[in-house]
Amino acid sequence: MTTKSILVLGGSYGGTATAHYTLKHIIPKLPSPDSYQVVLVSPSREIIVRPAFPRALIADSYFDQSKLWTNLEDQFKQYGSKFRFVHGVATSLDHEARTVTVTQKTGAEVTVEYHALVIATGSSTPSPLLSLNGGGRDEVKAHWTAFRAALPNAKSIVIAGGGPVGIETAGELGEHLNGRAGFFSSKLVNPKVKITVISKDKDILPVVRPALAQTAEGYLAKVGVEVVKNVGVESVSPAEAGRASDVTVGTEVKLSDGKTLQADLYIPAYGTTPNTSFVAESLRAKDGRVETNPKTLRVDKAGERVYAVGDASNYARPAVHIMMDAIPVLAANLKRDLLIAVGQTPSGDERLLTADEGETQLIPIGRGKGVGAFKGTRLPSFFVWLFKGRDYFVGMSGGMWSGQNWAKET
């Protein structure tokens, strides 16, 4: 019997969730389930709780490392030979021939034919401190080690980017290096390390209302962080400062208002690049993400049974909670399409997603404070700490990685 591959590219939130869901709820319900196999490709053997990076990068002592990093293959042993892991990176997708070429970590190339394809290759950050960026644990740890070694001698840090990642990183570094001002002080005077956030927008944290952004600025001031708004970073010297080649180099930061800042450490914490270079340009949107039907999660232009989700897809803004709503929709449509492929007529209509793009975001500022909103309702700082700031979801991610969170078909 020929095996039909359901090929999943990416081993993080989108990839692991889709793989578990397919193995638990789709394949067992197809005629001849033994003829299907989920093949998951990832350059990293570990799954990582990416939202925790702003704190995790500073010291190992902040998190239980066995929960921060989880071995991917171990989570799929429960499915036996129905699951196969390929340790490598997808380098080209031929959507006409329905094949993906993968360069394995060993250097060998392999071409995988797919019956169905899920693209969940996510995105990379300019700073290698904040994401796997196509590597694995060793690469990230090497960057963290270098950065941590430079911290005790740093007198000034510039963080470019007023979005949640820049603000969380600034808050964590501020509290770690400077401590927190007392209850009656609105700001930390003469902080040990001068930390500056550069935001090109008039408000930081664009997803939440301006009043929350202002509260965040107040919390940042208490850990010695200054926010400069309405100003962009024009250029940095050396040009590769803060990138993979050097996370610890002293940097001159030229701003759009003509000023220049000198930083002992520079972190570019703005924007992400979708990991989609292996996908034909004709399948990509202008911003580089895979052009995806936002209702069905299908990549309509790629032929039958091709889907995309997560940061690599343009179905919605990049956020884990939006993706968790999208997985059951993608899975329902995948199941439907697989049934049609074997000549069956699925019952009911296809499933459609309405992504919740509203004001939902939690932004811890250091280890005790934070701002946030859930579905348009402002949350007190204590709740932001309770839901996220306490451990940045590290403690509660196990069920997602093991598939326990997907035990029921929803």
Ligand X SMILES: Cc1cc2nc3c(=O)[nH]c(=O)nc-3n(C[C@H](O)[C@H](O)[C@H](O)COP(=O)(O)OP(=O)(O)OC[C@H]3O[C@@H](n4cnc5c(N)ncnc54)[C@H](O)[C@@H]3O)c2cc1C
Binding region for ligand X (CB under 6 A): 9-15, 41-44, 50-51, 53-54, 89-90, 120-123, 125, 130-132, 134, 165, 275, 278, 310-312, 318-321
Count the Cβ atoms, other than its own, within 10 Å of residue 230. Answer: 13
Count the Cβ atoms, other than its own, within 10 Å of residue 133. Answer: 23
What values do phi and psi take at 17, rounded to 5? -65, -45
The nearest distance, CB 217 to ligand X, in angstroms, is 19
- CB nearer to ligand X: give 310 or 403: 310
The nearest distance, CB 171 to ligand X, in angstroms, is 13
The nearest distance, CB 330 to ligand X, in angstroms, is 12
- CB nearer to ligand X: give 37 or 292: 292
- CB nearer to ligand X: give 33 or 395: 395
- CB nearer to ligand X: give 50 or 298: 50
- CB nearer to ligand X: give 47 or 241: 47
Q: How far apart are CA 139 and CA 117, in angstroms?
A: 28
Token readout for 102 is 């993968």
- Strand (E) positions, 20-98? 36-42, 46-48, 69-71, 83-94
CB neighbour list of residue 372: distance below 8 Å, 6 or more residues apart = 208, 212, 361, 362, 363, 378, 379, 383, 384, 387, 388
Question: In 231-257, which positions are buried (b, 16+ CB within 10 angstroms) versus exposed (e)?
Answer: eebeebeeeebbbbebbbbbbebebee
Q: 10 with 42: CB under 8 angstroms?
A: yes
- CB nearer to ligand X: give 70 or 121: 121
Whose tokens are 């002293």? That residue is 250
- CB nearer to ligand X: give 134 or 346: 134
For residue 198, the cross-strand partners are 160, 228
- CB nearer to ligand X: give 130 or 212: 130
The nearest distance, CB 253 to ligand X, in angstroms, is 20
**Could you tell me the CA-to-CA distances from 358 to 14, 318, 361, 402 in Å, in that order?**
20, 13, 9, 29
CB neighbour list of residue 230: distance below 8 Å, 6 or more residues apart = 199, 200, 201, 202
The nearest distance, CB 123 to ligand X, in angstroms, is 5
The nearest distance, CB 82 to ligand X, in angstroms, is 20
How many residues are listed for the chain in this entry? Answer: 410
The nearest distance, CB 121 to ligand X, in angstroms, is 4
